[in-house]
Amino acid sequence: MKRAALLIELFTEELPPLSLMRLAEALATQVQDGLARQQLIDGSVAQSYATPRRLAVLIPDVSDAQSQRWIERKGPSRKAAHTPSGDPSPALLGFTQSCGATLDALHIQQDAKGQEYYVHRYLKEGEPLTALLPDILENALKLLPVAKVMRWGAHESAFVRPVHGLVALHGTEVLPISLLGLTAGRTTQGHRVLGSGTIIIDHAIDYESVLERKGYVVASFATRRQRISAALERMAHPHRLLARPELLDEVSALVEWPVVYEGHFDPEFLQVPQDCLILSMQQHQKYFPLGESDTGKLVPRFLVVSNLETSTPHAIIQGNERVLRARLADARFFFEQDKKIPLAQRLSRLSAVVYQQRLGSLADRVERLVALTGRMAHHLSLDSEMACQAARLMKADLVTEMVGEFPELQGRMGMEYARLEGQPSSICEAIGSHYQPRFAGDVLPDSILGRVLALADKLETLVGIYGVGLIPTGDRDPFALRRATLGILRLLIEGKLPLTWSSLLKWTEATFPPGVLEPQALASLPDFIQERLRGYLRERGYESTLIDAITPLPDHLASVPARLDALKSFRLQPEAQGLAAAHKRVRNLLKKSSSDIQDIPDIPLQEPAEIALEECLRALGDPVHHHLAQGNFSGALHQLAQLHSPVERFFEEILVLCPDPTLRNRRLGLLVQLESLMTCVGDLSCLKP
């Protein structure tokens, strides 16, 4: 058998840049897995290549055929293989005939249960690579993450873009295979302008170097990205890049031979808010804006990654500057037009924008946000009038020209326009940050007013959309309710907002007109939130058993991490396991007797063990609740550790479910007090070693 490098290249029309790398990695993975399943490789790792016009995969050590291997086919059991007279049964004869073998060629084996059965073992010659590869490639193409495919020409082949060339080389040999209506060869194309026309690949292992040397194509996405990044950093000096990281990936998927050029724009455009200019450069033109190295303030320079290298780039630079000038002029026009109408005067326009069919317009939503923000501000002792003013203006920029052109600027443009109108800085900053956190890992608003606005915004979305029955299912979450819930949890926990969950839900529901929200949907909302909380806490490194201990939701979510940390430490104490077992017993007894517990009789206890437990509960009540009020959950658990001995003695000496119903109720009442104290930090019964 011959072993050599295997190269597969699909030469296509321009591939979608945002999914280029994902397609290349998926193709390499599927081809590698397919070869491994057919035992054609042994540990070789596929290298993916991706440019705007090609997807390729190179596996360095691939066999040209499978090895010989023994095949074992199971037949009938020995008991069923013969007739009463001892002759071969029809089942055994049929098995030998289907195997093309004689009875003498069969073997008897024993399975794990001790049952004997006939098997036929034979040596099978390995299939050649040329016979197996077409199916491997076809299966790989079917499994690529492609939302929509295209058809071209007169055949029925389909792919994400039309494919015009196929390379399939095993070492120096062209594999005689066909795919997507094409016959494999060893020729490909280089750069549209700089390349030397048709490029012949003599050996699969030379693919990357030949393309770069003769075709002016950097085939490796990672290499191309690294070269672009280095050139951008070098040419940005003495300034720094202001572009989002995703832009580098996108630009790397748009060029085959990257060259970075520098351009300039009129400094007068700097009068427009910086975010508008940066977004215009990045989103529309894929340019890299530059800022001062210390402050990050935008400067009138930009960098562009071109797909064309020339010693006279003047025309390229001028063309890009001319296009950018038109874009920035549009942004300046939108900004100047928006400034003519104050945010407050735009509120009436929100009535014409439907928020959700059953929940009314954006104006209706703003009214709910104002009411909810006012309730929270009052509870937090904030300036309610200022908070309501911020809530009233927070969505006004949605009907501005700038946000209409650049939806990503919502919130930030509201902040800019509010600042220009002379609104207090606290209102401006809160408006600008009220969408935060936008995604996992995003920062929270800096100010408490900003966090209140963000919390109101996400709560209204969650309760409103969920409450009308638009509940996320599977991977469908069109209103991003999971993300909104995660934002709420982070605002309450990481933002340390001292607001109770029950109050927030009640206040939010009260802002909607009667009959709009569905009671059945709202009833399942706590479970939905609980699942998001569990996921959030797992990501922060907490164990499932500890998370179970704070289920259901504590009313003060801000206290959750401190509760979990206290329970984690308490679990290591010698009294913890005894209390955990006792708590389980208390809970089981109360659950079993829930229908029997009536008014607790006011009679004195008689037995020393139950008297001792009652006195301990009475003595611990004030210290425990004092620690809880201070947020000192470790201190509260330290106090609860004193319950270990009296509880242990109680269960050893006292029959709780005694025949006397009055005494039984009195003892159950004692357990109710014990249960209440044992769950004040978390469910102790969930603690495990």
Q: What is the mean pLDDT of each run of 10 residues along the chain (689 residues)?
A: 92 95 96 93 92 96 85 80 78 83 80 81 83 94 90 87 96 94 95 91 96 96 97 96 92 97 96 93 93 94 96 94 95 95 95 94 97 96 96 96 93 96 96 93 94 97 95 89 95 93 94 94 92 92 88 83 90 84 84 68 83 90 89 89 88 85 83 86 79
Placement of tokens 């797992």 in the chain? 538
| Helices 314-339/412-420 angle, 10° precision | 60
Q: DSSP assignment, residue 268?
A: G
CA atoms within 13 A on the CB side of 488: 28
Helix H or strand E encompassing 63: strand 54-63
Per-residue pLDDT, 688: 63
Cα–Cα distance, 29 to 358 (Å, whole number) = 46
User: Measured between alpha carbons, how far is 471 from 553 in angstroms, rounded to an integer?
Assistant: 20
Instruction: Pick the closest to residue 619 from 599, 646, 601 (CA basis).
Output: 646
| pLDDT at 417 (0 to 100) | 96
> Between 3.40.50, 1.10.10, 1.10.730, 2.40.50, what CATH number should domain 562-686 receive?
1.10.730
Asked whether 288 and 241 are in contact (CB, 8 A), the reply is yes
pLDDT of residue 484: 96
**Cis peptide leading into residue 554 (ω within 30°):** no
What distance in Å separates the CA atoms of residue 568 and residue 444, rounded to the nearest whole number? 27
Measure the CA–CA gap between 625 and 267, rounded to whole angstroms.
63
What whole-number distance in Å separates Cα of residue 648 and Cα of residue 245?
A: 60
CATH domain 349-541 topology: Hypothetical protein af1432 (1.10.3210)
Which residues are registered as beta bridge partners of 124?
Answer: 69
Residue with token string 């928020």: 355
Residue 678, classed as helix, strand or coil, is: helix
> Which class for 315: exposed (0-12), middle (13-18), buried (19 or more C-beta within 10 A)?
exposed
- Residue 212 has a pLDDT of 96
Supply the pTM of this predicted model.
Answer: 0.79
CA distance 412 to 603: 66
- Give the burial class of 268: count Cβ atoms within 10 A of its Cβ; 0-12 exposed, 13-18 middle, 19 or more buried: exposed
